Amino acid sequence: MTQKTILITGVSSGFGFHTAKLLALSGYQVYGTVRKKDDLKIFSKLPKEIRPKTMILDVTWSQEKISQIVNKIIKQTSHIDCLINNAGYGHMGCIGSFTIEEVRQQFDVNLFGAFKMIFATLPIMRKHQQGLIINVSSISGFVTTAFYGIYSSSKFALEALTQSLRVEESIFNINAVSIN
């Protein structure tokens, strides 16, 4: 049986870091993305045979550039079994205190970044008639409070994307789920 390949965005800290480390220790072939060159060696203390492979990828890059990086992984592994869209961040504050550029940036990372990664990985998953897409969301994608309007808006949209994707891609044996 072929080793499962997992691609995770945003592994330089937090959930992404710990998820990548745990999956690699469990025997999966893990590719993790980071935005900064300094973070490429984030897993260097782990033994090489169980170390996630890291690469620079910013989900705000162009679709073409993201697809090129994903295609390099596919050339090495011939498949991507699971995509974990973990990259994200949150603007907190009164909606009226943000610029439209700050709102765009929030959506560019939390929503459009997930879209770009999905667009880059769906063809190989469809070809193999199997896959799993996990979008890291938030409880704020279901309910919101004051000062969370912009962040919650991006996560509400991510929830809608996940729900539609789950239905549409089920004919290819591809599942989509969100983690809150």
Q: What kind and span of H or E run contains 68? A: helix 63-77
Question: Could you read off the pLDDT of 9-63 as tens digits, one per residue?
Answer: 999 999 999 999 999 999 999 999 999 999 999 999 989 888 999 999 999 999 9
Asked about 78 being catalytic, the answer comes back as no
Indicate the average pLDDT of the chain.
Answer: 95
Separation between Cα atoms, residue 108 and residue 150, nearest integer Å? 12
| pLDDT score of 140 more than 90 | no
Q: Of 67, 137, 138, 152, which residue is the catalytic one?
A: 137
Between helices 149-168 and 113-128, what is the axis angle to 10°? 10
Determine contact, residues 3/53, Cβ cutoff 8 Å.
no
> Which region among 26-35, 44-53, 66-75, 99-108 has the lowest average model confidence (pLDDT)?
44-53
> Which region among 39-48, 67-76, 103-112 has the lowest average model confidence (pLDDT)?
39-48
| pLDDT score of 175 more than 60 | yes
Determine contact, residues 131/121, Cβ cutoff 8 Å.
yes
The sheet carrying 131-136 orders its strands as 53-56, 29-34, 5-8, 82-85, 131-136, 174-179
Q: Of 151, 152, 154, 178, which residue is the catalytic one?
A: 151
What are the C-alpha distances in Å from 24 to residues 35, 50, 102, 172? 20, 5, 35, 26
Asked about 138 being catalytic, the answer comes back as no
How much is the pLDDT for 156? 96
Asked about 62 being catalytic, the answer comes back as no
Asked about 28 being catalytic, the answer comes back as no
